[in-house]
Structure 1
Amino acid sequence: MESPVGSNGIHVHIHDFFTYAPSSDLDEFQKIVLKHWKAALKKFGLSCNSHGVDIKPEGKFDIGYIAKEMAAYDTKDKSKSDLKNLFQLLDASAKGDKQAGDDWLRAAKAIQGRDRWNVGQLAKKLGIPCPSDWKKPEGVEKTVDPRRLIIEYPQPQHMIATSPSNPRAGLAFILRAARNEAARPGTTQRMVLRMCDETIKAEVELIKFKHAKTLAKLIKSSFTAEEKEKLCAKIHSHCTFAIAEYRATTYSYMHPAPKPAPQAQEDYSDLIPGQELDFS
């Protein structure tokens, strides 16, 4: 799946890969595929042309149907010149391009989570060895780039630091900090924690905004000053509790408590030979 972003917004689409014999008639194959594709669309009252699927107004087709850009049957050998993938957007954002940063956030929210890019160990399930499993030919030494630097920090912190709710391009800042890790150890970890703080601040503001909207809906002009004050105090209390709960949950996720060591079970079976212990 690719998710480049251009002047018309996010362009989420899937590429299907086929292997075929050199003698295959690809034109004939496309005709067969198109025939079955149109038949499948017809079951849902839909149709397609050379550009994609004709999506009906909301509520007029099966809600389980996939979006037009992901369902387009035709192959495209040319793309709009302004399309940029998410990594290019991050790179531009790190260089000060605010629009690129905003586009990356919009794309991340639209896709609803980075896990959508995980193919779910597909190669392993199909029995295909991944590159790390490939065996080198006999006599070839395994070389390690001496410039390679492994930077490690807790994954939960990374997920919070790069959350779409973060107003900053968290991943871009982390990658930029990683460039200085060799010269200043700990730079990346400090940046991750800073981005976590930015995410937490943004989430707290969203909680406040949500409760403010609730208050605006409930309060009425006919209320007395005392009634208004009582309602405001109630909503404020709920908001404070929600913020405290969110902070506690987030902190426990970022800094999980170590699991207690298993206690050794002592054997008292021979304490009183020939008798059973009864503590009831």
Structure 2
Amino acid sequence: MLIEPDLPARYTLQLGEHAVALNAAQGEMLTLYPTGRRFCLHCARPSSTLVGGGYCNDCFQRLARCDSCIVRPETCHYHLGTCREPRWGEQHCFTPHVVYLANTSGLKVGITRTERLPRRWLEQGAIQALPILDVESRRQAGLIETLLRQRISDRTAWQRMLRGPVPWVDLPAWHDRLLSTFSDELTALRQRFGTSAIRARDKATVACFDYPLPTEPTRLVALNIAEQSHIAGRLMGMKGQYLMLDTGVINLRRYGGHEFELSITSPERQQLGLF
């Protein structure tokens, strides 16, 4: 699902070659029918079971993007010569990354490739975000995130994020507080990786986001598409990777590689494709 910054954010659901503008469908009936077919997001082969967010078992075992260091980047082992795909690691892990603060269900710390901003914040349902440090690699970002997790969470409570309203957070104040608290540790990391490897960001500009949210309460029951013949409900709104129906909510990120048939009230919006 593509999310683009706007007032509110614009949501597009990609189904194979077809793109469905979801903002225009807000308030209409939406039905998802699983076809039962699943395809690996990397090799595109049919697979009865997908793991790691949409990969067949073979790809999950051999791809660097499926290794545990992607979830825990501070454990990156490229420098030990054991990276599953060194060239992929060089292209994706040894590129500029940013350590940021975001307000999703509350204050959190996160990391991402610099090129993925602001998309990463929108995917998480952040209403505020502020980069605090630029670094040269994913491993460096992970080491810093591990430090900051001693004071703030790196998790989002999805029900609180969707239920709202989420209280505003003074991100610039937290920027100063965290960099001051961990000043010695950050100095040690600069001595280890080089002064220019870890650079503080200006705290002046906080990014703010708005989402197409429902005007009435939505049931915050997680719907599992894969275990039902279909899921139907009125599309009330979207935030992060969640579709909010009047019957429950769907986290579309869980269904990478699954094939569904989508029906929206208007016949011309019926499509068949892959998430």
- TM class, shorter-length: under 0.3
The structure richer in helix per residue is 1
Greater relative contact order, per chain length (Cα 8 Å cut-off, separation 6+): 2
Relative to total residues, which structure has the larger strand share, 1 or 2? 2
Larger Rg: 1
**Structure 2 length-normalised TM:** 0.24
